[in-house]
Amino acid sequence: MIALPRQEGRHPLRRPQSDRLLAFIKFKTMDNSSSFAQRTAQLKEIAFQLKNAADIVLAEVQHMEAAQARFAQKATAKTKARA
């Protein structure tokens, strides 16, 4: 895993996902001199890494959508309380 510098204000439980995403970005390049079986294994590994990255992005989107819904509810509650 790649160690990222500590950033203030980030939730400590969310940090490992970005570490995994950065590790995915630096995946191995394919060697043309390798055998078909080795290239197939590398492609399979890359496919799993892409799936993991997609899962991370989906989790982030769901987290942000939930936060947006909470903020909208709070704003609606404040508006009704003032009226």
What are the tens digits of pLDDT across the range 2-57?
Answer: 454 445 455 545 556 666 666 666 655 556 667 888 889 999 999 999 999 999 99
Number of independent structural domains in the chain: 1
Is 71 domain-assigned? yes
Tokens for 76?
């609606």
Is 28 domain-assigned? no
Is 74 domain-assigned? yes
DSSP letter at 24 equals: H
Is 81 domain-assigned? yes
Which residues form the domain of 71? 35-83
Residues 6+ apart with CB under 8 A from 34: 42
Interior/surface letters 52-79, b for 16+ CB within 10 angstroms, e for the rest: ebeebeeeeeeeeeeeeeeeeeeeeeee
Write down the pTM of the prediction. 0.52
